Amino acid sequence: MYRIGDAEIKRIRRLIESGKMFRYGSGGECDKFEADWSAHVGVKYTRMARSGTSALYTALVGLGIGPGDQVVVPAYTYMATALAVLAAGAIPVIADVDESLTLCPKDLVRRLTKHTRAVIPVHMVGLPCDMNAIMKVARKHKLLVLEDACQAVGGGYRGKMLGSIGDAGAFSFNFFKNITCGEGGAFVTKSKGVYDRGSVAVDCCSFYWDENPQQRRDELQFAGNNFRASEFEGAILNAQLSRLAPMLKKMRGQKKRLLKAGEKAGLVSITNHSLEDECGTHAGFLFTDEASARAFSNGLKSRGVGNFLPMDTGRHVYTRWEPIMREQGAHHAALDPFKIPANRNCKVKYTQDMCASSLGILSRTVLIGTHPDNDAQRMQSMVGAIRDAAPGL
């Protein structure tokens, strides 16, 4: 979360005074956000959900993913990406990330089998994946693409908005994201079919809400769920949306400045696929070994500049996705994708070193966060800290 204040308070006050908190037939805060977010991202449809996890899961339902399918996910992402695949009944297959900290297109190809139906490229820490290469692989192998843009809300890739490039995209609006309503999420798609199916998963009554009975199709009458957003989330996100683009523009500028400071100090940047369009929330430097990365990290910390090694970020590295590594795919054995007969032939073996290359990269990288409230003086001190912590590494 970067900014929240009077604009959000005013909208919430107005909402409470109206007494209309249910999203249907009320003040239209969710309707407005869905329309504005679709326009912002450049897609036809947005469906708000309760979280990034439920957005991923409902998008997978929308795409028709289920038992018998393998879905490729990167080794570096919050475990919810892989758990959403299990929630849909499918098997997650873990592939390496490369020096961009995002899915390696070459390794994606290596992990394909006749069971692979989809891939979830994850735009981690604001960094877009190599979407041109990933879409090329997807087209060649007829894979569905669900972009996980939970950590890259509002970011782009070579002139396109993240989430609009694949068949669907998912966003998180939890407290830690670029815009937030405390907890929240949404999926986007250009496809009416994906939107309709995904909407039933978001709201089990969505089929019946359709005012035009002619539109009600039997295949949409499956048992859904309830991940429906309330007008509170809609109201806060409507205020947050107007903050997003100027904030990211500022952070992109800061990131470029930090990268330049690193270059001057002899550091090597991670691969950035789209510096002009990405979120700019983190500048990353890659070292030849973990000891050098840790020395730089400690040097920055002692100079008051926060940073982290992606390897240290808990459930964001596949080796710490315990429900997957332990193959406990559901609360009940009969529902567990790892145990059901439909998945007998598409199960894979998970080992601690199955993506050793990713572990190496994640242990040798230092990420430094930018912030929209950083002023000229703060930027100067960050640049100075990079210069002073770098020598000899």
Task: Tell me how far, at minimum, the Cβ of 150 lies from ligand PLP, in Å.
Answer: 4
Query: Per rule CB under 6 A, is residue 98 in the interface with ligand PLP?
Result: no
**Which of residues 76 and 296 has its CB atom nearest to ligand PLP in the complex?**
76
Task: Tell me how far, at minimum, the Cβ of 56 lies from ligand PLP, in Å.
Answer: 6
Token digits for 195?
Answer: 């939107």
Query: Per rule CB under 6 A, is residue 150 in the interface with ligand PLP?
Result: yes
Please select the residue that binds ligand PLP; options are 46, 70, 81, 100, rule is CB under 6 A.
81
Q: Which residues contact 231 (CB under 8 A, 6 or more apart)?
A: 15, 20, 21, 22, 23, 26, 27, 29, 30
Stretch that binds ligand PLP, among 27-35, 48-56, 87-95, 197-205 (CB under 6 A): 48-56
Phi, psi values for residue 47, rounded to 5°: -125, 115
Tokens 């003086």 -> residue: 377
Please select the residue that binds ligand PLP; options are 33, 57, 78, 232, rule is CB under 6 A.
78
Stretch that binds ligand PLP, among 45-53, 200-208, 290-298, 307-315 (CB under 6 A): 45-53
Tell which positions 275-334 bind ligand PLP, by CB under 6 A: none
**CB 315, CB 78: distance < 8 Å:** yes
3-state secondary structure of 147: strand
**CB 43, CB 167: distance < 8 Å:** no
Query: Per rule CB under 6 A, is residue 363 in the interface with ligand PLP?
Result: no
**Which of residues 181 and 385 has its CB atom nearest to ligand PLP in the complex?**
181
Q: What kind and span of H or E run contains 145?
A: strand 144-148
Gap between the Cα atoms of 28 and 86, Å rounded: 33
Q: What angle do CA 96, 155, 95 make, to 5 degrees?
A: 10
Q: Which residues of 137-156 are buried (b: 16+ CB within 10 A; e: fewer)?
A: bbeeeebbbbbbbbbbbbbb
Task: Tell me how far, at minimum, the Cβ of 73 lies from ligand PLP, in Å.
Answer: 10
Stretch that binds ligand PLP, among 75-83, 155-163, 188-196, 200-208 (CB under 6 A): 75-83
**Which of residues 241 and 265 has its CB atom nearest to ligand PLP in the complex?**
241
Query: Per rule CB under 6 A, is residue 148 in the interface with ligand PLP?
Result: yes
**Which of residues 41 and 267 has its CB atom nearest to ligand PLP in the complex?**
41
Tell which positions 164-193 bind ligand PLP, by CB under 6 A: 172, 174, 185
Task: Tell me how far, at minimum, the Cβ of 376 lies from ligand PLP, in Å.
Answer: 31
Number of residues written out for the chain: 393
Task: Tell me how far, at minimum, the Cβ of 330 lies from ligand PLP, in Å.
Answer: 18
Residue 266 is given by DSSP the state: T
Q: Indicate the residue whose CB is closest to ligand PLP.
A: 52
Task: Tell me how far, at minimum, the Cβ of 184 lies from ligand PLP, in Å.
Answer: 7
Determine the size of the site formed for ligand PLP (CB under 6 A): 14
Strand-pair partners of 74: 95
Strand-pair partners of 282: 369
**Which of residues 178 and 199 has its CB atom nearest to ligand PLP in the complex?**
178
Stretch that binds ligand PLP, among 72-80, 156-164, 231-239, 260-268 (CB under 6 A): 72-80
Task: Tell me how far, at minimum, the Cβ of 122 lies from ligand PLP, in Å.
Answer: 5
Q: What angle do CA 176, 181, 185 make, to 5 degrees?
A: 80
Task: Tell me how far, at minimum, the Cβ of 88 lies from ligand PLP, in Å.
Answer: 14
Please select the residue that binds ligand PLP; options are 23, 41, 43, 51, rule is CB under 6 A.
51
**What DSSP assignment string belongs to 167-194?**
SEEEEE-STTSSS-SSS-EEEEES-HHH
Query: Per rule CB under 6 A, is residue 80 in the interface with ligand PLP?
Result: yes
Please select the residue that binds ligand PLP; options are 38, 46, 58, 77, rule is CB under 6 A.
77
Q: Which residues contact 11 (CB under 8 A, 6 or more apart)?
A: 29, 235, 236, 238, 239
Query: Per rule CB under 6 A, is residue 122 in the interface with ligand PLP?
Result: yes
Gap between the Cα atoms of 186 and 173, Å rounded: 8
Query: Per rule CB under 6 A, is residue 151 in the interface with ligand PLP?
Result: yes
Dihedral in degrees, nearest 10, Cα atoms 368, 371, 375, 377 = -20
Gap between the Cα atoms of 167 and 151, Å rounded: 18
Gap between the Cα atoms of 65 and 218, Å rounded: 18
Residues in the site for ligand PLP, rule: CB under 6 A? Answer: 51-53, 77-78, 80-81, 122, 148, 150-151, 172, 174, 185
